[in-house]
Amino acid sequence: MYTKKIEEDLNCGLRIGFKIFGGKWKMCILDAINNGFTRPAEIYRSMPDATLRVIEMQLAELLYFGVVDKYSEDVYPKKTEYRLTNLGKSILPILSQIDKWGTEHSAFVKERLQELDEVQ
Amino acid sequence: MYTKKIEEDLNCGLRIGFKIFGGKWKMCILDAINNGFTRPAEIYRSMPDATLRVIEMQLAELLYFGVVDKYSEDVYPKKTEYRLTNLGKSILPILSQIDKWGTEHSAFVKERLQELDEVQ
DNA sequence: GCAATAACCGATAAAAGATTCGGTATTCAT
DNA sequence: ATGAATACCGAATCTTTTATCGGTTATTGC
């Protein structure tokens, strides 16, 4: 994590929300955890487009902001589980709403993106 | 707009949603339009932390993805209005949910951010 | 004519964010 | 003891996004 050079206005709920779960993979990670993929390696396997490193980094931020909790057991295979806190769970409805919206409009969006590709 | 070098998986509704309204200012702009600030200069005055340039750029993207429509009148003062399309309006419930979430948890988030600042 | 306002665009700089790569440490199975 | 799996972390690098700046065009009021 690092501090930004340009200070942010966090007077707007929208900006705060994005601050917490607006990263490229954060929502996907929360979704994965919610679907039972609670360990880093599991999350990674469930979304191989992200690297393990980025998953670790985002988990660290989610942990910092109290969205997830971390439980480590010293057994083999080394077991670390990340679970949603109540704060994390409170994000789930938003998550599913965005997912629903995106799924509903995916055809349209993809069409537009394809146009862009054809131009370049 | 530019094409990415790293290809995106848009199989996930979440990613699609973020693609369309996940920019730093996009949701704020949609919110501003919804609150009656329909012209670029008005939007800018309603959220001076963003530059006019970035508002223009984001409006162009929102226009491209059919989230807003653009209406120009050749009168003085030069009048351009951006209005939400049905697609744009369909985002509003998500918007207000995120805003509500962010507002509810703003104290907690700010506290955490302050901690980070103190360290550095 | 000149300042002010509006909309907008291109180029480039800067910042933010993500990726890559190599490393540590642990434990188990062979 | 070697290899595989897990969880991490640091640093450099690259990509993406946002900011800055200067410019254009057009119209009105002075």
Tell me the residue range of the domain where A77 lies: 13-89
pLDDT exceeds 60 at position B3:
yes
pLDDT of the residue at A30: 96
pLDDT tens-digit series, residues B86-109: 999 999 999 999 999 999 999 888
Mean pLDDT of A31-56: 94
pLDDT for A76 equals 63
- H or E element that contains B79: strand B79-84
Q: Smallest CA–C1' separation from A7: which nucleotide?
A: C15
Tell whether A53 is covered by a domain.
yes
Cα(B72)–Cα(A115) distance, integer angstroms: 25
Which B residues in the span 57-86 are in contact with A, Cβ-Cβ below 8 Å?
64-66
**Cβ separation A13–B103 shorter than 8 A:** yes
Token look-up 């070098």 returns B5
By Cβ distance, the residue of B17, B99, B116 closest to A98 is: B17
The CATH number given to whatever domain includes residue A27 is 1.10.10.10
Q: How many percent of chain B have pLDDT more than 70? A: 90
Q: Averaged over B3-18, what is the pLDDT?
A: 82
Quick one: pLDDT band at residue B120, thresholds 50, 70, 90? very low
Q: Is A24 on the interface with B (CB under 8 A)?
A: yes
How far apart CA B106 and CA B18 sit, in angstroms, is 21
Predicted confidence (pLDDT) at residue A79 exceeds the cutoff of 70: yes
| Cα nearest neighbour of A48 on chain B | B9
Query: Domain for residue B116, yes or no?
Result: no
B68 domain residue, yes or no: yes
Would A32 be classed as within a structural domain? yes
In degrees rounded to 5, what are phi and psi of residue A69?
-115, 155
pLDDT of residue A1: 65
**How many CB atoms are closer than 10 A to CB A4?**
9
Q: Do B19 and A109 touch (CB under 8 A)?
A: yes
Give the tens place of pLDDT for each residue, A2-37.
Answer: 677 777 776 789 999 998 998 889 999 999 999 999
Confidence of residue A114 (pLDDT cuts 50, 70, 90): confident
B106 within some domain: no
More reliable by pLDDT, A82 or B119: A82
Distance CA A56, CA A72 (A): 14
State, as a whole number of angstroms, the distance between the CA of A29 and the C1' of D4: 26
Q: Is residue A100 part of a domain?
A: no
Q: What are phi and psi of B71, to 5 degrees?
A: -125, 120
Is the Cβ–Cβ distance between A58 and B58 less than 8 Å?
A: no
At A84 the three-state DSSP class reads: strand
Q: Does residue B18 lie within any of the structural domains?
A: yes
How much is the pLDDT for B57? 95
> What is the pLDDT, as a whole number, of residue B112?
83
Question: In chain B, what residues touch A18 (CB-CB under 8 Å)?
Answer: 22, 24, 27, 98, 102
User: How far from the centroid of its chain's Cα atoms is residue A81's Cα?
Assistant: 16
- For the purposes of burial, counting CB atoms within 10 Å of the CB of B4, is it exposed (0-12), middle (13-18) or buried (19 or more)? exposed
pLDDT of residue B8: 74
Is residue A31 situated within a structural domain?
Answer: yes
Model's pTM, two decimal places? 0.89
Å: B41 CA to C4 C1': 14
CB B66 within 8 A of CB B87: yes
Res. B72 pLDDT band, cuts 50 70 90 = confident
Domain count, chain A: 1
Q: Does residue A103 have a pLDDT over 90?
A: yes
